[in-house]
Structure 1
Amino acid sequence: MPRDGSATRERILETAERLVIDNGFAATSVDRVIAESHSSKGSFFHHFASKNDLARALVERYAAADVAHLHAALEHARAATDDPAKRVVAFLSYFENDADAIMSAQSSCLYVSILTERDLVLDGTSGQIEEAVVAWRDGFAELLRAALPGRTPAGVDIDVDALSDHVFVTFEGAFLLCRSTGDSGHMHRQLTVLRHLMEALLGAVAATPPRRRRAGTPSRH
């Protein structure tokens, strides 16, 4: 068992992430994080100089897991098929098949909770979120640029970056639908619709059959 305090720090971060996603950053007090993580004020301030310092650590941790999930999906798509269009579909299917697991792990997205706090935007905390968004855009755009030539209607000029951003937009919109209606099934349905739209655009079919979520697969979007 680690004796350097890393387990305590991780426990505080896990608790704070859940509370911030469920209640918002402003409504999550340091005292509540300490109480629900079964730590102490001394332990908290040993690891985090302030509540805003905690926010920066939360975003760094969440964004790292988010980008790791992206890379896992890209690797899955490339391993599934050599057909560029089917790789796009395989990428989307990866998340579609994990939709229930994603929603069981979190009720919303940490990014939204952080971006509503003006102080955190001004102090640069939001910069890590922008980097993650760009990573998603670039990752999916690479698949699209390989798949689109010769598959789109003549005369149609597709903004690949904007289309790539639609993956991220679908996730965030689905989180909003799930939370506002109390129906977590919206995540799966919206990802299915996105896959169908991409299949229609590319004339592609699913590269792989639905799969079960593997143990250890990151559950964040």
Structure 2
Amino acid sequence: MPRNGAINRERILATAEHLVIEKGFAATALDEVIEGAGTSKGAFFHHFPTKLDLAKALVDRYVTADLGQLQNALSETAHLAADPRARLLAFLRIFEDGADELMSEQSSCLYVSTVVERDLLTAGTADRIVDAVVGWREPVAGLIRAAVEAHAGHERGDDETNDDGNADGVDADALADHLFVTFEGAFVLCRATGDAGHMRAQLRVLRQLVDHLVR
């Protein structure tokens, strides 16, 4: 492989991601990707023998970056661990404050572009999206449980939880998934209306709802 093979592969993936998000996977021709990446067909097929291979690499790259953003936000708020409510709200605020920059970089989400393609679903390409959902759910639910249990313990003077394992009746897993749902739904709303401001607005509403639950 040429010494710059990794750079060439990354350029192909970056170009393909932009095109797929804008047009959809089925409507994106490989020739468009090759031309946009400024590479040759030989170099392209060296890295991605089939279009399905490209799709799997795209989703894997996107999931890795997505989970990386999650870990960054967890790290940035780790110093607030002694105050679970403050940490949870600060964690959510990171994404709210970054919403405008996010929407300036992309108009939609690769997850949306992937799950609407039946061929990609049947080929298992969306399996990595499930990894992302679970990857977000578990740590975010942990933040929520800590915040709710701290609030409930303060109110009762103990640390009891309800029989269903959720402190104060809050389904932490479902609420954690709601962050993921808010992102994806806001992408659709922004794309449909042409107003990128919906992303920040929806993340703000989610933070306010969570704030009310753990107050």
Secondary structure at 1:27 match in 2? coil
Does residue 158 of the first structure (1) align with residue 170 of the second (2)?
Answer: yes
TM-score by length of 1: 0.87
Give the corresponding residue for 1:213. none
TM-score by length of 2: 0.89
Secondary structure at 1:151 match in 2? helix
Does residue 188 of the first structure (1) align with residue 200 of the second (2)?
Answer: yes
| Cα distance, 1:4 vs structure 2 | 3.9
Write the distance in 2 (CA, Å) between the matches of 1:90 and 1:82.
13
Give the corresponding residue for 1:42. 42
5 Å-filtered alignment, 1:89-108, equals 89-108=89-108
Aligned length: 202
- RMSD of the alignment, in Å? 1.7
Query: What letter matches 1:196 in structure 2?
Result: Q
Write the distance in 2 (CA, Å) between the matches of 1:52 and 1:74.
33
| Cα distance, 1:150 vs structure 2 | 5.3
Give the corresponding residue for 1:76. 76
* Deviations, residues 87-112 of structure 1 (Å, cap 9, x unaligned): 11011001011111110111100011
Does residue 117 of the first structure (1) align with residue 129 of the second (2)?
Answer: no
Secondary structure at 2:205 match in 1? helix
Q: Is the 8 A contact 2:120 2:126 kept in 1?
A: yes
Give the corresponding residue for 2:127. 127
Query: What letter matches 1:121 in structure 2?
Result: L
Structure 1 runs (4+) greater than 6 angstroms displaced? none
| Cα distance, 1:38 vs structure 2 | 1.1
Does residue 173 of the first structure (1) align with residue 193 of the second (2)?
Answer: no
| Cα distance, 1:151 vs structure 2 | 2.9
Q: Is the 8 A contact 2:88 2:144 kept in 1?
A: yes
* Deviations, residues 116-164 of structure 1 (Å, cap 9, x unaligned): 1112111211111100110101110010111112536998522111111
Mind listing any 5+ residue stretches in structure 2 that lack a counterpart? 157-161, 163-167
Q: Is the 8 A contact 1:89 1:199 kept in 2?
A: yes
Deviates more, 1:154-163 or 1:25-34: 154-163
Write the distance in 2 (CA, Å) between the matches of 1:168 and 1:123.
23
Deviates more, 1:42-51 or 1:120-129: 120-129
Question: Whose relative contact order is higher, 1 or 2, with alpha carbons under 8 Å and at least 6 apart?
Answer: 1
Q: Is the 8 A contact 1:20 1:28 kept in 2?
A: yes
Q: Is the 8 A contact 2:142 2:172 kept in 1?
A: no
| Cα distance, 1:78 vs structure 2 | 1.5
Q: Is the 8 A contact 1:151 1:201 kept in 2?
A: no
Give the corresponding residue for 1:208. none
